[in-house]
Amino acid sequence: MKILIADDDPSSILYLQDMLGEWGYEVEVAVDGNAAAEILRRSDGPLLAILDSMMPGMDGIDVCRGIRQSDTERYVYMIILTSRVESEFIVAAMNAGADDFISKPFNDEEMRVRVRAGRRIVELGEQLRRRASRDALTNIYNRGAIIEILEKELSRQGRSQHAVSILFCDVDNFKAINDTHGHLAGDEVLRVLARRMAATLRPYDSFGRYGGEEMLGVFPDCGLEGALEVAERMRAAVAEAPVKTEFGDIDVTVSIGLATVDKDQTCKLATLLQRADDALYRAKANGKNCITIAH
Ligand SMILES: Nc1nc2c(ncn2[C@@H]2O[C@H](COP(=O)(O)OP(=O)(O)OP(=O)(O)O)[C@@H](O)[C@H]2O)c(=O)[nH]1
């Protein structure tokens, strides 16, 4: 786990850095409050920070206030390091959004347990965040999360001019699978298909459950040709072997509709989804277990 140390005193930084390193933490350093705030706002920034209360520019309390007022999605746990122990100061720090404080000079063991307490909160927060974005049955993104990813990707696409492709995928004859083998077998089929298809993706692609037996893939920086390759890998990964369930082996296939926004085009989210859905409809009409491209 990564921890930010923000302090303008090099010897304090060095001391803390060594100690945290020994305890197994990765450390990032900021020498003033502005740099600290910038690092904490980064989407991959540390989620635990030890902030000196006195720093040039923004002090530790200003950093806490700034972070709590910003719309960062992740919870950052902030510990104020201070030589001021009067209640008014502590109240002001915690009112500004600090989670904890440690008085200077600090006791190493106290630092260790307070950092550990912070780590527990951060890990819980990350667990909650992850659960909120995952589909409980298949563990791929849920509908809200995959749509949010697509929205972000489309706005990035509009700004930076690269292609984006999406894929709608629907299990073929799924009602018959449920009717023949039971709903629990149908659930197992969905779980296995999601796993097989997700395993074929590139690291920066996203895949989520749009609803029922329909799944949505989002492929950034990916034109039609690339998307077709990914889609074919996904289709083949499903069809290559039956799904083994305790209710018997079940042959399954999927139909796929693809739609692309080229780099010199823009497309609204609803329109793009509709285009992929129309393509999927044609894939079903063409006999299923195939891929169709949107007009
Ligand atoms: N087991 C299980 N079934 C589900 C779930 N969500 C939706 N279904 C079922 O999926 C089936 C979808 O059936 P249809 O929309 O008729 O589609 P289909 O039989 O796959 O037919 P085609 O799409 O034309 O190939 C319905 O019977 C739903 O009850 C789920 O989470 N688990």
Enter the tokens of residue 176: 């018959």
Q: Which residues pair with 5 in a beta bridge?
A: 29, 50
Q: Which of 242, 240, 228 is nearest to 283 (CA)?
A: 228
**Where is pLDDT greater, at 73 or 98?**
98
Prediction pTM value:
0.78
Q: Is 223 exposed, middle or buried (0-12, 13-18, 19+ CB in 10 A)?
A: middle
Predicted confidence (pLDDT) per residue in 173-189, tens digit: 999 999 999 999 999 99
Distance CA(178)–CA(185), nearest Å, equals: 7
Residue from 169, 171, 175, 280 to probe ligand 1 pocket by mutation (most atoms less than 8 Å from CB):
175
User: Is residue 101 predicted with pLDDT exceeding 80?
Assistant: yes
CA neighbours within 13 Å on the CB side: how many for 158? Answer: 9
- What's the order of all strands across the beta sheet hosting 77-82? 26-30, 2-6, 48-52, 77-82, 100-103
Predicted confidence (pLDDT) per residue in 37-66, tens digit: 999 999 899 999 999 999 988 999 999 999
Which domains does the chain carry?
A: 2-133 (3.40.50.2300), 143-293 (3.30.70.270)
Distance CA(90)–CA(88), nearest Å, equals: 6
Distance CA(241)–CA(222), nearest Å, equals: 28
R_g of the chain computed on alpha carbons: 25
CA distances from 288 to 85, 169, 171, 198, 239 (A): 70, 11, 9, 20, 11
Distance CA(263)–CA(162), nearest Å, equals: 4
Question: Cβ contacts of residue 239 below 8 Å, gap of 6+?
Answer: 252, 253, 254, 289
User: Is residue 274 predicted with pLDDT exceeding 80?
Assistant: yes
User: Is residue 226 predicted with pLDDT exceeding 80?
Assistant: yes
Determine phi and psi for 62, rounding to 5 degrees: -60, -40
User: Is residue 215 predicted with pLDDT exceeding 90?
Assistant: yes
3-state secondary structure (DSSP) of residue 221:
coil
Predicted confidence (pLDDT) per residue in 120-167, tens digit: 999 999 999 989 999 999 999 999 999 999 999 998 887 778 899 999
Q: Is 211 in the pocket of ligand 1 (CB under 6 A)?
A: no
Neighbours of 100 (CB within 10 A): 17
Could you say which DSSP state residue 204 is in? T
Distance CA(105)–CA(232), nearest Å, equals: 62
C-alpha of residue 276 to centroid of ligand 1, in Å: 19
C-alpha of residue 146 to centroid of ligand 1, in Å: 20
Residue from 178, 251, 289 to probe ligand 1 pocket by mutation (most atoms less than 8 Å from CB):
178
Beta pairing class for 214-220 and 164-171: antiparallel
Q: How many whole angstroms from its chain centre is CA 214?
A: 21
Residue whose CA is closest, atom 15 of ligand 1? 175
- Asked if 20 and 118 touch (Cβ cutoff 8 Å), the reply is no
Determine phi and psi for 205, rounding to 5 degrees: -85, 155
